[in-house]
Amino acid sequence: MAISSSSSKLVFLLWVLGFMSVMSSAAKFDELFEPSWALDHVSFEGEELKLKLDNFSGAGFGSKSKYLFGKTTVQIKLVEGDSAGTVTAFYMSSDGPKHNEFDFEFLVDETPIRVFTNKEKKGVPFPKDQPMGIYSSIWNADDWATQGGRVKTDWSHAPFVASYKGFDINGCECPISTNAVDNTKKCSASEGSLLLLLSVSTGVGRK
């Protein structure tokens, strides 16, 4: 059956819009983030960025800039099936030997939430004074993450893949060339100066 001219135009328009959406998603990642290690384990497939873990390496990415106040969001599809021993993490971290981290680590064990307090009294500045980079990674932690290391990663299920989309950062950027005091003053005075927040939507892939 012949396809009408109007139908052909509609199909072409939908294809173009879909292609533009994929390009926009890739451009959003490239604008804000970059792979930080194991580039051969990082891929972009359609709208999704994928990090792969096998028995050779995990993978990760990080933000190109650091921030003091604001919000970052991402949608993550966690590893499907038997992923015991693997850790998919989305987190913020400052630099240096006395650094802070805010972590989401998806361990899938009997502890729903782990809370670690800040260490300002030990000389570790709270993140309101430390610009934070934004990172994500997938890695093997079967030496501690699964019943204290008793359950090991089953590599017959590899590669383990975590997928990401919906990248966004709305925060006060802190250039490396600007000293910490000036960055704090600038970002504290900015509109909507909330402590940098992580917002994560997750799902678990299924075979």
Active site residues: 101, 105
Return d(Cα 153, Cα 115) in angstroms, integer. Answer: 25
Amino acid occupying residue 20:
M
> Looking up tokens 């709305």, which residue turns up?
170
Tell me the one-letter amino acid at 58: G
User: Which strand ranges, in their side-by-side order, compose the sheet holding 67-78?
Assistant: 42-45, 48-53, 160-173, 67-78, 197-204
Length, in residues, of the chain: 207
Indicate left, alpha or beta for 184 from its phi (over 0: left) and psi (-120 to 50: alpha). alpha
DSSP assignment of 160-177 equals EEEEEEEEEEEEEE--TT
